[in-house]
């Protein structure tokens, strides 16, 4: 019974783990074989018999009887005198099976066994958790805030699994308290050492796509397809939707009466402004819709270079560019085209790139990021507004304006 008692003492914690007795016994055998290798140099001549129903485990060592004084390997061979103490009628050349009691391994070995077993159990649990969450990658998941750190929020789900929401995967307006439930998409699952690292994201475009799937029945049922999602988390997003059923208005179905359907999604994302547009294979029409709420006069495409020259009335330009250049940037990401904005009726304008000998390329790039690619598009802006929307100093902006003005004065 001592083997049973020891095994029970080893496995007393198993009820708290997601592990069945059969799996536990398989782990036990592996652990004991490692212990036997350490103590005897090899486990090849040992039989381990497991009875999972009784929770019992027997270890038998098999040796060959040799004449007294001729034992060369004490693990593989046993002297005739020693063998006859086990069974009086043993003779040289016969096989002897002798049971090894766990207690005979010594106290230190038993403690090591227990530690090794705990390690193997955790490893087994972690592997299962890894597989479970690997299957959940890209899906919405909810967990409770357990600990708030500077660079991440540590959360626990109902099973006590740790989920990490890094700072850069949080929407800028996110503010969570301990005990609060948080929704996000499982972005990645990796094994770091033997421990699974589960990363959640609330900034991923996939999170917004899955929110559409969970909140809008037609998307969930496949009647409406989300073709593409682009986001500036917490600020603005554009979602292209399509339906193979001509009777369904995909935009209307997603937005709902007075925005009733999309309101919950907007609230979940910290009041992120979401434009829902009808997807189309007509590139010019797609770009026109992507630049909403601006009304486009005409578009000239360079499909090979993936560039689009968009003509707008002067009063529509600011709408097309949007606050901080968000609208034009997202429209470009949604359509896959680099969009250049031109003002209708303004013939004399100069591309900003023409001033590359006087203005550093990184400064030109800063203006380009907010949709300002021509001289007049910058001259029409307020200096303080340009400083806020770019990473440029006021002195730098004033110098650029001086250079551009001199071009038109000349």
Asked whether residue 12 falls in the same domain as residue 115, the answer is: yes
Asked whether residue 49 falls in the same domain as residue 106, the answer is: yes
Asked whether residue 7 falls in the same domain as residue 123, the answer is: yes
Domain CATH for 19 = 3.30.1480
Q: Is residue 30 part of a domain?
A: yes
End-to-end CA distance of the chain: 104
Asked whether residue 158 falls in the same domain as residue 259, the answer is: no
Q: Would you call 367 helix, strand, or coil by DSSP? A: helix
Within 10 Å of residue 202's Cβ, how many Cβ atoms?
Answer: 21
Separation CA 95–CA 284 (nearest Å): 87
The last residue of one of the domains, among 101, 131, 161, is 131
Asked whether residue 73 falls in the same domain as residue 113, the answer is: yes
Q: What string of DSSP letters covers 329-341?
A: HHHHHHHT-EEEE
Tokens of 40: 């005897």
The last residue of one of the domains, among 228, 262, 279, is 279
Asked whether residue 38 falls in the same domain as residue 149, the answer is: no
Q: Is residue 96 part of a domain?
A: yes
Q: Is residue 255 part of a domain?
A: yes
Q: Assess contact for 65 and 96: CB atoms under 8 A.
A: yes
Q: What pLDDT, on a 0 to 100 scale, did the predictor assign at position 8? A: 55
Asked whether residue 81 falls in the same domain as residue 168, the answer is: no
Asked whether residue 195 falls in the same domain as residue 222, the answer is: no
Q: Is residue 312 part of a domain?
A: no
Domain CATH for 182 = 2.40.50.140
Containing domain of residue 77, as a range? 2-131
Q: What pLDDT, on a 0 to 100 scale, did the predictor assign at position 1? A: 38
Asked whether residue 19 falls in the same domain as residue 77, the answer is: yes
Tokens of 181: 């439930």
Q: Is residue 236 part of a domain?
A: yes
- Give the full edge-to-edge strand order of the sheet including 338-343: 296-302, 307-312, 338-343
Q: Assess contact for 226 and 212: CB atoms under 8 A.
A: yes
Q: What pLDDT, on a 0 to 100 scale, did the predictor assign at position 205? A: 96
Q: How many domains, the chain?
A: 3
DSSP annotation of 174 reads: -
Q: What pLDDT, on a 0 to 100 scale, did the predictor assign at position 208? A: 96
φ/ψ of 344, rounded to 5, equals -65, 135
Per-residue pLDDT of 306-365, as tens digits, reads: 899 998 888 888 889 888 889 999 999 999 999 988 887 655 677 888 888 888 889 988
Average pLDDT of the chain, as a whole number: 85
Q: Is residue 243 part of a domain?
A: yes
Q: Is residue 173 part of a domain?
A: yes
Asked whether residue 12 falls in the same domain as residue 102, the answer is: yes
Asked whether residue 127 falls in the same domain as residue 7, the answer is: yes
The last residue of one of the domains, among 74, 100, 131, is 131
Q: What pLDDT, on a 0 to 100 scale, did the predictor assign at position 286? A: 95
Domain CATH for 217 = 3.30.300.20
Within 10 Å of residue 84's Cβ, how many Cβ atoms?
Answer: 15
Q: Is residue 77 part of a domain?
A: yes
Q: What are the average pLDDT values for consecutive 10-residue runs of the chain, which has 410 residues?
A: 50 53 71 80 82 69 87 85 85 85 69 70 77 92 93 92 94 93 94 86 96 93 95 95 91 90 93 94 94 90 87 87 90 93 72 84 87 83 85 89 77
Q: What pLDDT, on a 0 to 100 scale, did the predictor assign at position 20? A: 63
Asked whether residue 13 falls in the same domain as residue 111, the answer is: yes
Among residues 82, 52, 55, 50, the alpha carbon closest in space to that of 66 is found at 82
Q: What pLDDT, on a 0 to 100 scale, did the predictor assign at position 346? A: 55
């Amino acid at each position: 019974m001592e083997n049973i008692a020891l095994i029970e003492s080893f496995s007393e914690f198993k009820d708290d783990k997601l592990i069945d007795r059969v799996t536990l016994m398989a782990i036990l055998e592996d652990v004991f074989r490692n212990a036997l290798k350490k103590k005897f140099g090899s486990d090849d001549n040992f039989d381990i018999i497991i009875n999972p129903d009784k929770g019992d485990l027997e270890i038998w060592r098999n040796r060959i009887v040799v004449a007294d004084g001729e034992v060369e390997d004490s693990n593989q061979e046993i002297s005739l005198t020693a063998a006859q103490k086990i069974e009086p009628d043993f003779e040289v050349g016969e096989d002897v099976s002798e049971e090894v009691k766990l207690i005979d391994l010594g106290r230190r070995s038993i403690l090591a066994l227990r530690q090794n077993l705990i390690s193997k159990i955790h490893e087994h649990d972690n592997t299962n958790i890894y597989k479970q969450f690997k299957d959940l990658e890209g899906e919405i998941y909810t967990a409770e805030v357990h600990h708030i750190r500077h660079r991440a929020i540590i959360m626990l789900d109902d099973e006590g699994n740790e989920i990490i929401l890094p700072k850069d995967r949080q929407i800028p307006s996110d503010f969570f308290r301990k005990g609060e439930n948080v929704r996000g998409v499982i972005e990645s699952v990796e094994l770091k050492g033997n421990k699974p690292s589960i990363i959640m994201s609330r900034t991923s475009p996939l999170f917004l796509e899955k929110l559409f799937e969970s909140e809008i029945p037609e998307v969930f049922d496949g009647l409406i397809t989300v073709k593409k999602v682009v986001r500036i988390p917490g600020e603005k997003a554009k979602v292209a939707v399509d339906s193979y059923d001509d009777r369904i208005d995909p935009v209307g179905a997603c937005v709902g009466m007075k925005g009733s359907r999309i309101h919950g999604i907007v609230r979940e994302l910290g009041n992120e402004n979401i434009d829902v547009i009808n997807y189309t294979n007509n590139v010019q029409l797609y770009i026109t819709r992507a630049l909403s709420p601006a009304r486009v006069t005409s578009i000239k495409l360079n499909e090979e270079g993936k560039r689009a020259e968009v003509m707008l009335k002067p009063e529509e330009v600011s709408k097309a560019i949007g606050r901080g250049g968000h609208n034009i940037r997202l429209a470009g990401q949604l359509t896959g085209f680099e969009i250049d904005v031109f003002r209708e009726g303004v013939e004399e304008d100069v591309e900003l790139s023409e001033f590359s000998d006087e203005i550093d390329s990184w400064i030109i790039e800063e203006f380009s990021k907010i949709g300002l690619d021509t001289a007049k598009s910058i001259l029409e802006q307020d200096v303080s507004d340009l400083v806020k929307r770019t990473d440029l100093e006021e002195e730098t902006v004033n110098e650029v304006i001086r250079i551009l003005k001199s071009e038109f004065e000349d």
